[in-house]
Structure 1
Amino acid sequence: MMLMGATPTPLPLDELKPWNSSRQMLVCTGVADEAPDVKTFTFAVEGGGWFRYQPGQFITVELRAKGGDLHRTYTISSSPSRPYAISITVKAQPNSVGTRWMFDNVKPGSRVRAYGPSGHFTLGRDLGRKFLFVSAGSGVTPMMSMLRWLADCAPGTDVVFVNSARRPEEIIFREELELLATRMPNLKLAFLPEHRSGAAPWAGLMGRIDMRKLEMLAPDFLKRDIFCCGPDPFMKLVSDMVRGEGYDMNRYHQESFGAAAVTDIAQKPANDDGEASVRDETALDVAFVGTGEIASCQPGQTILQGARSVGVRIPAACESGLCGTCKVKKRAGEVAMSHNGGISDAEIAEGYVLACCSRPLSRVEIEA
Structure 2
Amino acid sequence: MSSWRERFEAPAHAASSNSKRAAWLRAAAARVTTPLLPDDYLHLVNPLWSARELRGRIVAVTPETEDSATIVIKPGWGFSFDYHAGQYVGIGVPVDGRWTWRSYSLTSDPDTSRGDKTVAITVKALPEGFLSSHLVNGLAPGTVVRLAAPAGEFVLPEPLPEKLLLVTAGSGITPIMSMLRTMRRRNRRGDVVLVHSAPSEEDVLFRRELQELADDGVVTLKLWLTRDGGRLSPDALERLCPDWARRQAWACGPGGFLDMLTEAYEAAGRGDALHIERFALERGAHGAQGGTVTFGTRDRSIEVDGATTLLEAGEKAGVQMTYGCRMGICQTCVVMLDKGCVRDLRTGVEHVEGERIQTCVSAAAGDCTLDV
Q: Does 1:232 align with 2:255?
A: yes
1:241 corresponds in structure 2 to 264
Q: Does 1:114 align with 2:176?
A: no
1:57 corresponds in structure 2 to 87
TM-score where L is the length of structure 1: 0.64
Aligned length: 289
Distance 2:315 2:232 in 1: 45
The DSSP-based 3-state class of the residue aligned with 2:54 is: coil
Cα pair distance change 1:355/1:217, threshold 3 Å: closer
Distance 2:121 2:86 in 1: 11
1:139 corresponds in structure 2 to 172
* Aligned-residue RMSD, C-alpha: 4.2
Distance 2:216 2:224 in 1: 22
What is the aligned counterpart of 1:194 among 201, 218, 226?
226
Give % identity: 27
Give the letter aligned to residue 326 of structure 2: C
Cα pair distance change 1:310/1:93, threshold 3 Å: closer
1:78 corresponds in structure 2 to 108
Give the letter aligned to residue 184 of structure 2: A
Give the letter aligned to residue 206 of structure 2: F
Q: Does 1:326 align with 2:332?
A: yes
2:70 corresponds in structure 1 to 40
Contact map agreement 1:257 1:318 (CA 8 A) in 2: no
Contact map agreement 1:307 1:314 (CA 8 A) in 2: no
TM-score where L is the length of structure 2: 0.64
1:98 corresponds in structure 2 to 131
Distance 2:276 2:358 in 1: 25
What is the aligned counterpart of 2:163 among 107, 130, 133?
130
Contact map agreement 1:228 1:235 (CA 8 A) in 2: yes
2:231 corresponds in structure 1 to 208
Distance 1:154 1:21 in 2: 39
Cα pair distance change 1:31/1:260, threshold 3 Å: closer
Q: Which one has a larger percent helix, Structure 1 or Structure 2?
A: 2
Q: Which runs of 5+ in 1 are unaligned?
A: 1-15, 197-205, 269-277, 284-294, 297-301, 329-334, 341-352, 358-368
Give the letter aligned to residue 251 of structure 1: A
Contact map agreement 1:57 1:117 (CA 8 A) in 2: yes
Deviations 1:166-197 (A, max 9, x none): 11110111100111122235x2101111236x
Distance 1:267 1:193 in 2: 43
Cα pair distance change 1:267/1:35, threshold 3 Å: closer
Q: Does 1:222 align with 2:245?
A: yes
Contact map agreement 1:164 1:192 (CA 8 A) in 2: yes
1:88 corresponds in structure 2 to 121
Distance 1:69 1:194 in 2: 37
Contact map agreement 1:21 1:115 (CA 8 A) in 2: no
Cα pair distance change 1:183/1:327, threshold 3 Å: farther
Q: Does 1:148 align with 2:181?
A: yes
Q: Which runs of 5+ in 2 are unaligned?
A: 1-20, 24-48, 300-309, 338-343, 345-355, 361-372
